[in-house]
Amino acid sequence: MPRQRRNKFVQSPTDSQNHSLEPQQTFAPLQSEFIPLSGSHLIEASAGTGKTYNITRIYLRLLLEKGLSVENILVMTFTKAATEEIRGRIDEFLRQAFTHWDQWTQDVSNPLFYELGQKIPADKAKLALKLALLQLDDAAIFTIHGFCKRVLSQHAFASGVSFNAAMETDDQEYYLQTIQDLYRRLAAGEERQQEFALISQFWPSPEAFYQSFIGVCRARQNPKVETLDSKIDDLQRLIDRCLQSLSDNEPLIAEHLIDNKTGKARGERELEFSTLRQVLQLAGEGLKSGVASQEIHDFAIDLEIDFRFCGAGRLPKAKDKQDDKKALQFAFAPLYELKKVIDGFAQAMEKIQAYAYVAQYIDDIRVKVQMLKSDRQVLSFDDLIATLENALLSGSHRQFLLQQLRKQYPAALVDEFQDTDAGQFNILSSLYFNTDSEANSNSNSATNSNPNFEINSYTSGEPQHLEQETALYLIGDPKQAIYGFRGGDIFTYLQAASLVSNRWIMDTNWRSSAAMIHAYNVFFYGNALASQSRDVFGYSIAYQPVNAAPGADNDVLVVNGKDSAAMQGVHFNHSDTDISRGQLGKDFSQKMSTWLSNQISQLLLQGTIVDSIQNESRPVLPSDIAILVRDGGQASYVLAALQENNLDAVYKSERSNLLQHPICNALVDALKTIITPEDERRLYGTLAGPFFGFSPHQLQQLQQDERLWENLVQDLQALHQTWQKRGFMPMAMKLLHDYFPQQYQSELFGSRERMLTNCIHLFEILQGLSQQHRHPLQLISHFDYLCQNPQMVETELRLESDSDLIQVVTQHGSKGLEYPIVFVPFACIHKDPMKAGIRTREVLSAHNEQGDVEIALGANEALAKAMCDEQYAEDTRLLYVALTRAKLQCYLFSADFKDSAKSPLGRALDLVEGNYPDAWQQYATHCQHSVEISVIDADNLEPQVHQVNKPSNALQAAQFRGRIERDWWLTSFSGLTRGHRHYGLSDPDRLDANQMGQDIERITAIVKLPKGAKTGNLLHDILEHLDFSAPDAEWLANRLQNARLADDENVAQGLTDWLLACLTQPFHVADKSVCSLASLTKERALKELEFYFPVSSVKVQAISQYLQRFRGAFGADAAYSAMLPTRGDIQGMMHGFIDLVFEHEGKYYVCDYKSSYLGDHFENYDAKSLQQHMFDNFYDLQALIYSLALHRYLQTRIEDYSFEQHFGGAVYLYLRGMGQAPEEQLFASDNNSYGVYFNPLSEPWLMELDNLIAGQQECIEG
């Protein structure tokens, strides 16, 4: 929807010749080296004339001549991609200027730099350029929304914006929430049941209401609604037209439908005709009667008319009677329309009433949405513009804000200005124009606070530009104003053009060949001898012929040994004379696409592009060819025809919503399976789907092998844990890496490349959603809702690849691009502006005769006509964009279709209905050798399978011959000890007799506790989520039961009691202080601390020798070989997760949980046994590495950190040895607690390891 406001500084269209540029407004050729650096300027940049080139030149002059910084020159365009392109081009040009300054300023043939060299000393210029390049990241290059956001952030107080306001790119959730609330209120209120019944009849859900009326809700104007009485008046006028048509065509009707019958049949026809006229007469009189309005409404609804007399089956069928058939169709057209109206009249009357109800709630929705945004302190894109516009036009700090912004941005270049709207231009005009009344603006603030208030003219009658203070350059091309559907307003451009002081035109095309330029000069201008161009673009937008650039004839397209004409007009004849059926539909568009693909085959086989200067040639490549279409429907015909001809193509404007793709439902199922892998029915369905791709044989194996089943469930549970611990994206990428099938092809999901593209895109969407929905079930539920309502999110499919393929692009998507060869196959097709797909538009929006935007719900004849006129004009401008993409050749197709004269091509050629060949011939007469016209018999077209020419020397993948350093890697404790067997996991042979005195249930549970990674992972997970100081026993028991570790309730209870006993078991730490897990509150425990620290080229041998000396410090028996299984050097990053870091009495400890099995009795877990197990499995090295990580961490977190004061040591908890000993035997004879290994780790040992890893200690030989 266009933004619904008039421009404050815009004259009414009656003063500016009804939305047009005044004929006397002339344009001077632009020379960027001489354009004034102050004042207001409109620069019309036709397609291919080097718009960005000139922007960079003006930018350079503002830097050097005006002495402005990059932060003072505002460059504004309308997309992020465009801002990055302009930033890159400015950067490139400034670097070239800095590098070549001395050379270029001496070159008289380079007027820009020669003039600059005369004015500015070289050292001063180079310094300015160097500073500009250093500061370019801070350059004021923005989209309009980016500019508004910057201003509102910097001047929050002056603009009346909350300091805490957040930006949201999409505010649809606020509208939807408000509409949902409206539906609830209507449904709950007894007095509003009729309203709710009517509204829900036509828009059954809030989502349907949103889709129909979101544009109206965002607009400022209140919509008009057709009245019931006006509907009756329309019906009455239609009946009068029917009677008049029957009267005017009575001889023709009698000849073909009555006089050709005899006897009884003739009498019946005469009676039918007479009855039809009488019924119509009575109906008309009934509607004109002065009875009460409700009675007329009832009369109209109950109206019945027999239309058999004029039925289509009675019209002439003979081939020689087709002209008479068309004449009868024309005579009966009002009756056909009347039949359609009467059939749906009752529903139409109900819908008018429903529109009336909708209209009265629009304001309510707008107010509540603004309240929601205000409460949450958020601004949408539209709010950014509206808020800044309001602040500059009527804000209480308006003068201060204007002064600050004019000082901050004394110069502005606005690119793609034809895509502006009134709100955006109000911002610019406030800054760079003023009126005599500006000084007195405060007196008008009360009036201007009304958002609908408009000033149609200046107090003085003319605008006064801040000529000496500022410079404003508006760069655009009204012929390329093609974005009305997303808010672009050509009328704002035309009206703004009347305000500027200077008008320039860029009249040299640097893109196309001279022949191509001549072809579209004639196409849009007409006869070169004419005094002015044809008005093909509407609203007196003149086409200014452009000149070919020097060297424009260097490249020539040669086909089959002959130069090929630049413009190829191709007309398709067909045998069906009844074009009223609008047969573009299917059959004929396929025929046109077939010829197109055949022609591309010929171009690829026989076409060459010749460089006449270099005397070189190359074959036409698929990537040289672009096919420009209006929408995905047209693209589908083209792509199917190309595929049938064995030609590869890519549709680069794919607009399908990804959330409508079948892969979404498969992903929902996969995520639910990861959360609950125990659901066998869903699991098997998921495994057979695209994310796992299990074959029937694999599924059968899974059903027969319980071990495979358990392993798979454990793997899925591990994915769930990864999701909970590290977030959605790590889990999703692991899912792809571990399970996504290597070979998978599906008609439903597409190729593997397509699936991977879609999956990664969906993962990015889910990662974004996970910021608001952190719990996995919430995230899945919300994503599932979006998949069921895909219209709520604009999520377009991404391309899988597009290199070296024929390009199929929408005409909108082609803007700014160029291709050697362009096909525009469907420009002869009329698209009814009143239709949205197959449905009639519910909302009409267009400019009225006064220049204001009006909105109507339902029928509105005047607004519908204005809307059609605006859309037809934009469609013609879109054709201009399409044709001017071509460098060497453009194919333009025509065929006789229904309403073809209203099509873009028909309007451009001034088509007389059904006479394309004559229109083409007239064009060719003026165009001479630049055009070639072909007439094709469409009935006999067949596809020609393209034979790919194999190059004589087969292509080979490029080989990398450089050297990659492979000694930098990410390692961990597990990586250092990989290949080493960890002992102590064997099953017990018997139950020790000494256990008989212990708690039998607890001991039985511990003995039955399975061994292996599954149990270890479960115990780690439980301890990670358990509150040690206040454990939830019920949660713990449920967690153990769900993990299926216990066969019966007694064992489950025994395991629960055992783990609770582990928490309370005391153990000694530093300074013989007694600690327990139960004593650790949440504030004193940090779980799963992840760390990275750098490792500088350490030899593994040096670490082994260090470890052996470390063990020797514990006694002679410990000093046995400690050679690590890893070989070579370690360089890169050390990475790991510490199970638990806790604080006790001011000291910090590393703690690790072990579920290793050393025996059934608690005495198997005394200090000596634990130390031996630590050494056997290199856990002492793990303790050292983790302790070093904690030491470095504490250095960054504790002010005045001291190792002696703050570092406690390493605690290893062997869980199977804990919680078993009787209370009187909690500590062994050496005063160590069973199942707990503690090492205080002295500072020298840790510092030596620190130095070793930092590369500061050489390997000690021996």
Task: Return the pLDDT at 540.
Answer: 83
Secondary structure (3-state) at 504: strand
Furthest CA-CA distance within the chain: 132
889, 568 contact by CB (below 8 A): yes
Task: Return the pLDDT at 610.
Answer: 93
Residue 486 has φ and ψ, to the nearest 5°, of -120, 20
Give the containing element (helix H, strand E) for 1055. helix 1049-1064
Tell me: pLDDT of 726 over 60. Answer: yes
Tell me: pLDDT of 466 over 90. Answer: no
Task: Return the pLDDT at 512.
Answer: 95
380, 169 contact by CB (below 8 A): yes
Q: Which two tokens stand for residue 1164?
A: 């198997």
Please choose, from the candidates 1033, 994, 988, 599, the residue with its C-alpha nearest in 3D space to the C-alpha of residue 823: 599
71, 140 contact by CB (below 8 A): yes
Pick one of 3.40.50.300, 3.40.190.10, 3.30.70.120, 3.10.20.90 as the CATH number of 516-628+640-654+804-815+869-940.
3.40.50.300
Cα–Cα dist 16/498, whole Å: 8
Cα–Cα dist 817/884, whole Å: 9
Answer with the residue of higher pLDDT: 848 or 791.
848
| DSSP state at residue 997 | G
1051, 1005 contact by CB (below 8 A): yes
Cα–Cα dist 713/660, whole Å: 30
786-841 pLDDT tens trace: 887 765 565 555 555 566 789 999 999 899 899 999 999 999 998 999 988 778 89
Please choose, from the candidates 1039, 959, 1045, 1055, the residue with its C-alpha nearest in 3D space to the C-alpha of residue 1005: 1055
Cα–Cα dist 759/765, whole Å: 10
Task: Return the pLDDT at 529.
Answer: 58
Secondary structure (3-state) at 160: coil
566-600 pLDDT tens trace: 999 999 987 765 554 444 556 788 889 999 999 99
Look over the chain and give the mean of its residue pLDDT values, rounded to a whole number: 83
Answer with the residue of higher pLDDT: 1204 or 1039.
1204
Q: Which two tokens stand for residue 1015?
A: 């149990």
Residue 397 has φ and ψ, to the nearest 5°, of -110, 30
Q: Return the bridge partners of 895, or none.
A: 572
Task: Return the pLDDT at 1219.
Answer: 85
1040-1098 pLDDT tens trace: 877 766 556 677 788 888 999 999 999 999 988 999 999 999 999 999 888 888 887 77
pLDDT grade for 914, boundaries at 50, 70 and 90: low
Rounded to the nearest angstrom, the gap between the alpha carbon of residue 874 and the centroid of all alpha carbons in its chain is 25
Residue 500 has φ and ψ, to the nearest 5°, of -75, 160
Place of tokens 């005397």: 615
> Comparing 406-415, 445-454, 721-730, 972-981, which segment has the lowest mean pLDDT?
445-454
121-168 pLDDT tens trace: 999 999 999 999 999 999 999 999 999 999 998 998 888 887 777 777
Mean pLDDT within 172-180: 92
Tell me: pLDDT of 446 over 70. Answer: no
Task: Return the pLDDT at 8.
Answer: 38
Half-sphere exposure in the Cβ direction for 897 (13 Å, CA): 27
Domain 658-792, CATH 1.20.1340.10 — does that match? no
Tell me: pLDDT of 545 over 50. Answer: yes
Task: Return the pLDDT at 959.
Answer: 59
Task: Return the pLDDT at 354.
Answer: 94
466, 433 contact by CB (below 8 A): yes
Other C-beta atoms closer than 10 Å to the C-beta of 66 total: 14
1207, 1191 contact by CB (below 8 A): yes
Tell me: pLDDT of 1010 over 80. Answer: no
Burial class (CB in 10 A: 0-12, 13-18, 19+), 271: exposed
Mean pLDDT within 840-856: 88
Q: Alpha helices of 377-481 — where are they, by DSSP H? A: 381-394, 398-408, 422-432, 441-448
Residues 6+ apart with CB under 8 A from 75: 55, 59, 83, 86, 90, 139, 140, 141, 142, 412, 413, 415
Q: Which two tokens stand for residue 776?
A: 């996995």
Cα–Cα dist 42/47, whole Å: 16
Cα–Cα dist 557/629, whole Å: 23
- CA dihedral (546, 549, 553, 554) positive or negative: negative
Cα–Cα dist 383/175, whole Å: 14
Tell me: pLDDT of 843 over 90. Answer: yes
183-208 pLDDT tens trace: 999 998 888 888 999 999 999 999 99
Cα–Cα dist 1232/1168, whole Å: 10
Q: What is the DSSP string of 464-495?
A: EE-TTT-EEEEEE-GGG---GGGT--HHHHHH
Task: Return the pLDDT at 664.
Answer: 85
Task: Return the pLDDT at 130.
Answer: 94
Please choose, from the candidates 845, 846, 749, 732, the residue with its C-alpha nearest in 3D space to the C-alpha of residue 797: 749
Task: Return the pLDDT at 875.
Answer: 95
Other C-beta atoms closer than 10 Å to the C-beta of 1199 total: 4
Burial 604-631 (b: 16+ CB within 10 A, else e): bbebebbeeeeeeeeebbbebbbbbbbe
pLDDT grade for 51, boundaries at 50, 70 and 90: very high
Cα–Cα dist 504/407, whole Å: 26
Architecture of the domain delimited by 969-1253: Alpha-Beta Complex (3.90)
> Comparing 859-868, 870-879, 1104-1113, 1201-1210, which segment has the lowest mean pLDDT?
1104-1113
Tell me: pLDDT of 334 over 60. Answer: yes
Burial class (CB in 10 A: 0-12, 13-18, 19+), 200: middle
Q: Amino acid identity of 186?
A: L
- Please give the C-alpha separations between residue 386 and each of 74, 323, 380, 421, 426, in angstroms, as whole numbers: 20, 57, 10, 12, 10
Q: What is the DSSP string of 525-593?
A: H--TTSSS----SSTT-PPPP-EEPTTTTSEEEEETTEEPPSEEEEEEE-S---GGG-TIIIIIHHHHH
Answer with the residue of higher pLDDT: 506 or 1018.
506
Tell me: pLDDT of 925 over 60. Answer: yes
> Comparing 438-442, 555-559, 1006-1010, 1169-1173, which segment has the lowest mean pLDDT?
438-442
Half-sphere exposure in the Cβ direction for 984 (13 Å, CA): 24
pLDDT grade for 502, boundaries at 50, 70 and 90: very high
Most confident of 239-248, 731-740, 1117-1126: 239-248
Fold of 30-168+380-450+463-506: Rossmann fold (3.40.50)
215, 845 contact by CB (below 8 A): yes
Secondary structure (3-state) at 292: coil
pLDDT grade for 6, boundaries at 50, 70 and 90: very low
Cα–Cα dist 789/659, whole Å: 8
Task: Return the pLDDT at 290.
Answer: 54
Answer with the residue of higher pLDDT: 559 or 990.
559
> Comparing 116-125, 530-539, 1125-1134, which segment has the lowest mean pLDDT?
1125-1134
Answer with the residue of higher pLDDT: 1032 or 1223.
1032
pLDDT grade for 212, boundaries at 50, 70 and 90: very high
Tell me: pLDDT of 343 over 70. Answer: yes
Answer with the residue of higher pLDDT: 323 or 888.
888
Mean pLDDT within 931-941: 87
Other C-beta atoms closer than 10 Å to the C-beta of 707 total: 7
Cα–Cα dist 1020/1015, whole Å: 9
634-691 pLDDT tens trace: 988 999 899 888 898 888 765 566 777 788 888 898 998 888 887 777 888 888 888 8
- Please give the C-alpha separations between residue 725 and each of 364, 799, 975, 1031, 1088, in angstroms, as whole numbers: 44, 32, 22, 20, 9
Cα–Cα dist 1082/1076, whole Å: 14
Task: Outline where DSSP puts E strands in 252-326.
Answer: none
